Chain A
Amino acid sequence: MSPALFQTALYASLALCSLGLVWRVSAWFRVRIGPDARTVALSQRVAALLRGGALALFSRRVFQLAGAVFLDLLLQRRLFANEKLRWLGHLLILTGFTLLLLMHALAAIVTAKLFQGYQPTLDPYLFLRNLSGAMVITGVGLLLFGRWRRQTGLPQARRPMDMAFVALLGFVLVSGFLLEAHKIASPRAFYRMSDQFIGSTDAGRLTPLRAVWASEFGVAFDDLKLPIDPRLLEQGRELHRSACASCHTKPVSAFVSYPMARVLAPVTDLLDTGRADAWLLYLHVFACFLGLAVLPFTLMFHLVAVPISLLVNAAAPNRDFSLAGRASRRALALDACVRCGICDLHCSVAPLARYLGNLGLLPAHKLQATAALAGGRLLGCEDVALRAADGAFLCTDCGRCTAHCPVGLDLEDLWEAGRGDLAAAGLPSPAQWVQAHPALAWAESLERGPAEHVDSGPDDLLAPLSADRRSFSRCVQCQTCTNVCPVVAHSMDSNHGIDLTPQKVMNLLRLGLRDLTLGSRMVWDCATCYQCQENCPAGVRVADIMCELRALGVRRLGAVRSLRESS
C-alpha cells in the first residue's frame, strides 16, 4: 500500500471521526429534554459541567470517581450483577479490542517503543494478536448468544447502524485473520523476504530454507519434493538462523491464523496470483478507517459516552445536580444507552406492553422515542407519536429500569422529562384523554364503534380477570373496597370526585356492563395501592382488575378515540 494513500485515508477518517465526536459531544449541551431544560442556556450547561467537575476533583468525591473508574468502568460490576454471561462477553471484547488497538493497530507508536526488538511475526506478539482477536470474536458470540437465549417474545431496541457496525467489526477481524493466514502460507511473501534479506529469489538456491519454511512455518510451496531430506533441513535451519530467526518464530502459536493457513494451502497459489495479500490488506485497513470515520454515529460511541456518564454520575449525588446539570445529563444518557435491553427485562409494565402490542412502554424503546422527540423526529408521524405517548404515560415509575441499568443511567429523570415534552407537544396521557369524556359517553362510542372493536373475543383472552365472572362472582357488595380506598376518601372533600366506587365497578362487571367501566374516573384514578385487594373478604382481585380495565381501556377506547373526538 502506498504510504501516501494510507496516510491520506488515515487522516481523512481521523478528521471525520473528530468532527463526528465534536458534533455528538456538543449534543450533550445542545439537546433539550424536558420543559425545564428549555429554560437553561447553553452557557449555563457548560458552566455546570465545569463547576461540577472542579467540585468533584478537588473534594473527597475524587475517591468516588476513582471507584467508578475501577469498579464500574474497568470491572463492569453493574453488568456483572445483571448477567454474568454478558459481562464475560463484554469483558472479552473490551480487553481483546484494547489489546488489538494498542499492540497491533498502533504497534509502531506503542508496542515498538515499549518492547525492544518488537516484530509482529515474533512470539509472544503473534500469539497475543491471535488471542486478542479470538477474545473479541468469542465475546461477540457470547453477546449474541445471550441475546438469543433470553428471547422475551418482544423485539429488542436497536438502530440499523448498530448491527451494521457489528458486521463491520466482524469484517475487520475476519479480514485480519485471513490476511495473516495468507501471508503465512504465501510463497510469494517468502520470496519477497528472501530477496530483501538474502538477496536471492532463486528457488534452487533457497531449497534448504524453503524446506524449513514449508515444514515448520507453513509456507505452501507447490514445487517442493516430499518427503524432505533431513540433511536439507539441517542446512536450511542454519540459513534460517542467520537470515530469518531474528524476526520470525514458528507460527504454530498463531492458533487461529496458522490452522487457517493450512486450510488455505491448496488455494494459496491462486490467491498469490490474484494478489490477495494486497487486497486483503486494503480491505482490512480501509474497513478499520471506515469504522473509525463512522464511530461517533454508531453503537461504539458508547466507548466515549459511557465512561463520561459513569464519571458524571459518580461526581455528585443525585440531589446535587442542578437543573443545568440534569439537562446535560439527560442528553448524555441518550448516547450512553447501549440498548442492551436489560431494563426491558425488568420493566414492571412489560406485560402491558405485550398486551397492548405497544413497545413504547419498554424503557429501551422509550429512550429511543425520547431521543426522537428531542430531535424533532417523532411528531411527524402521528400514529407513532400517539403510541409513544400512551407508552410513556403508562409507566408506573417503579424505578426498576434505573436500578438495573448496567451503565447507571438515571432513567426516571429522563422519563419524567420526556413526559413533560409529550404533554407540551399536545400528546396527553391516556388518563387525560380518557377522562376528557364521561364513562357513559365512552360506552356509547364503543356501542357505535366499528364492529371489530366491539367484539370482545380477543379481549377475553387478554383481559382474563374482567372477562371471567368467577373472578368477581364472589363479590357481595359489602363496600369494604370502597371503605379502604384512599382515592374515594380523597374525593370526599373535592368537587372533582370519582364517578364510581370500586364496589360499583365490581357490580358493573357482575352485571356484564364492562364497557361502562372503561372510561370511569375510578378506574383511571386508582392509585394501585392494593388496599381493596388486601382487605376484600371474598378474595376478589379488585386492584388487579382495575389495572386490567385501564389496559383494556387504552386499547378499546383508543380504537374509538377518533370517532369520539370528531363527534
Chain B
Amino acid sequence: MTGARRDSCDVAVIGAGMAGMATALFAAERGLSCIQVGNPGGILFASGLLDLFGVHPVAERRLWRSPYAAIAALAREQSDHPLARIDASSIRTAFEIFVAALGAAGLRYAPLGDRNRSVLTSIGTIKTTFGVPLSMVAGVDALEARPPCLLVDFRGLREFNARQIAESLGHRWPDLRHRRIEFPGTEAAPELYAAHLARALESRQTRERTIALVKPLLGDALAVGFPAVLGLARASEVHAAFEAGLEMPVFEIPTMPTSVPGLRLLGALETAVSARGVRRRHQASVRALAFDREAGTAALDVEGVPGVERVVARAVVLATGRFTGRGLTADRGQVRESILGIPVLQPASREAWHQRDFLDPSGHAVNRAGLAIDDAWRPLDADGKPVWPRLFAVGSILAHQDWMRSKCGSGLAISTAWAAMEQVARQLRGTGAG
C-alpha cells in the first residue's frame, strides 16, 4: 500500500442508505469521529415518508394506529425481530433527533406524536406511515375530513394523474375534483420530469404564474393537492408561498420513486451528516475489511475514483442493506454477506426461499434472511460468537424481519442505528479507558 492515501476514525460506517446515514448522524451526535463509505443514491427510492411500524402480523396484514402498541405486540410474539429488542423511549429519542436534524437541514416534518397517519398516494391508494413532511400534512387532514378539495396535475408529467386519484377515491370522497394545467414555460415539451418542475418552482416568477393558473380553478375547494414538485432545496419556502398565494391549505402527494421527496431527503441527509463533520466517501466502496486483533483496529480498503484509500477505524458498522444495497448477494445456492462472508441466517435450501404463491400475504422466508446478532448488535460467526468485538450491524441486513411487509423500513434503519450506536459508544469508552 505504498503511496496510498490513509485516514483514521472512531467509527467507519459502511453504507449510505437510511441506516448508514442514521448511523453516521448518531455517531457524530455522540462526538465520535466518523468516516462513511457508500453511494447514497439508494435513498432516492425513499418516499420522504418515515414509516415506523405499520403492519403486524404480516400474514394478517393488520394495520395499527399506534406503532408503539404494534411494537409491544411484536415483542410479545416475535422477540427476535430487531425492533423488538429496542425500548419505546429509545425509538422515540432516535426519531426526534433524526427528524430535528432533517428540519435543521431544510426538510421539515410535522410533529411526530404517537400515531400512524394515512397519506394519499399518486395512484389513489392510502399509505399508513409515521413521519410526514410538513408539505404533505394538510393532505392527511383532508383525507380524514374529506372537505371539497381540488387535485391539480400537469400535462406531460406522466407519473402523476389527478384524475386517477379522484376516480379511485370518488366513492368515499365525492367532493374530490381534479384539473390539469400546463406548467408555465413547458408548452413545447412533450414530457416533463418532476425534479425539473421542482427546480423551476423555486423561481418566484414561475411560482406566481402557476398560482395564477390554479386560482380560477379553486371553486369551493378548501384544500389543494399537487404532485410533490413544490421546490427542492427550498421546498418549505415554495410550499409556504403556495399556501399564501392560494389562501388555503396546500399539500403535496408523493409520487412514485424516484421522486422529488426522495431527492429532498437525500439532500437533507447529506447536508446533516456533512455539517456534523462526517467524512463521506460517497463514490466509493469497501474492497476489503480486515481486523487487527492486537491493535484493536479495523482496516478498510476503500476504493473510489482517486484510487484506494486505507481507513483505520476503532469500530465498524455494517449498514450495507440487502440485495439492492448489495449488502447481501444471492447465487443459485445460498445468500451471502458481501464484504466478509459472515454467515447469513437463511432457509436450508433454495426451494424454501419462496412460498408457492408470489403474493402470499405471509411473505417469503428469504425476505427474513439476514445476519444474526448478539445483544450488543454484533453479527455472529458460525460458532455464535461476535465476528469482531467492535463490528456492528444495523438496518435491513438484520435477520428476522420483513420491513417491506411490516411497513417499518425507516423505523428499522433509524432505531437500530440508534441502539447500535449506544453499544458502539459504550465499547469505545471501554477501549479508550483501557
Contacts and interface: CB of A to CB of B under 8 A. Distances in A.
Interface of A: 478-480, 482-484, 488-489, 491-495, 497, 501, 534-539
A536 B282 CA distance: 12
Contacts of B42: 537
B186 A488 contact: no
B196 A495 contact: no
B258 A539 contact: no
A494 B188 contact: yes
Please name the 9 residue pairs, one residue from A and one from B, whose CB atoms are nearest each other, closest first. A537-B41, A483-B195, A489-B196, A492-B189, A493-B185, A478-B258, A480-B258, A537-B44, A537-B42
Interface string B236-271: 000000000000000000000110000100100000
Nearest to A534: B283
Residue among A484, A488, A537, A539 having the largest count of chain B Cβ atoms under 10 Å: A537
Contacts of B189: 491-493, 497
B45 interface: yes
A56 to B, nearest CB: 42
Interface string B178-216: 000000011011111111100110000000000000000
A501 B189 CA distance: 12
24 contacts: A478-B44, A478-B257, A479-B258, A482-B193, A483-B193, A483-B195, A483-B196, A484-B195, A488-B196, A489-B200, A492-B186, A492-B189, A492-B193, A493-B185, A495-B188, A501-B191, A535-B41, A535-B263, A535-B266, A536-B41, A537-B39, A537-B45, A538-B41, A539-B39
Taking residues whose C-beta sits less than 8 angstroms from the other chain, chain B's interface range is: 20 to 34
Helix, strand, loop or mixed for chain A's interface?
loop
Given A483-B258, A489-B195, A492-B192, 13 more contacts: A478-B258, A483-B193, A491-B189, A492-B193, A497-B190, A501-B193, A534-B283, A535-B41, A535-B263, A536-B41, A537-B42, A537-B45, A539-B41
Nearest to B38: A539
A364 to B, nearest CB: 27
Nearest to A496: B188
Contacts of A536: 39, 41
Contact of A488 (B39, B41, B193, B266): B193
Nearest to A495: B188
A492 B41 contact: no
A323 B348 CA distance: 79
A537 B196 CA distance: 18
Contacts of A537: 39, 41-45, 258
Nearest to A544: B305
B262 to A, nearest CB: 9
Contact of B188 (A482, A483, A497, A534): A497
Given A483-B263, A493-B186, A493-B188, A478 B45 contact: yes
Contact of A479 (B186, B193, B199, B200): B193
Contacts of B266: 535
B191 to A, nearest CB: 8
A483 B228 CA distance: 13
A492 B45 contact: no
Interface of B: 39, 41-45, 185-186, 188-196, 199-200, 257-258, 263, 266, 282-283
Contacts of A484: 195, 263
A484 B188 CA distance: 20
Contacts of A482: 193
Residue among B39, B41, B199 having the largest count of chain A Cβ atoms under 10 Å: B41
A480 B200 CA distance: 17
B87 to A, nearest CB: 33
Contacts of A538: 41
A480 B194 CA distance: 10
A222 B70 CA distance: 116
A453 B206 CA distance: 49
Contacts of B282: 534
B232 to A, nearest CB: 10
A492 B184 CA distance: 10
Contacts of A492: 185-186, 189, 192-193, 196, 200
B62 to A, nearest CB: 31
Contacts of A539: 39, 41
Residue among B42, B186, B193 having the largest count of chain A Cβ atoms under 10 Å: B193
A497 to B, nearest CB: 6
B41 to A, nearest CB: 4
Contacts of B191: 501
A478 B259 CA distance: 9
A502 to B, nearest CB: 11
Nearest to B199: A489
Contacts of A535: 41, 44, 263, 266
Nearest to B266: A535
Contacts of B190: 497
B194 A483 contact: yes
Nearest to A539: B39
A479 B262 CA distance: 12
B397 to A, nearest CB: 17
A534 to B, nearest CB: 7
A188 to B, nearest CB: 62
Contact of B44 (A480, A488, A494, A501): A480
A492 to B, nearest CB: 4
A484 B41 CA distance: 12
Contacts of B194: 483
A530 to B, nearest CB: 10
Contacts of A494: 188
B241 to A, nearest CB: 21
Residue among A480, A488, A497 having the largest count of chain B Cβ atoms under 10 Å: A480
A480 B188 contact: no
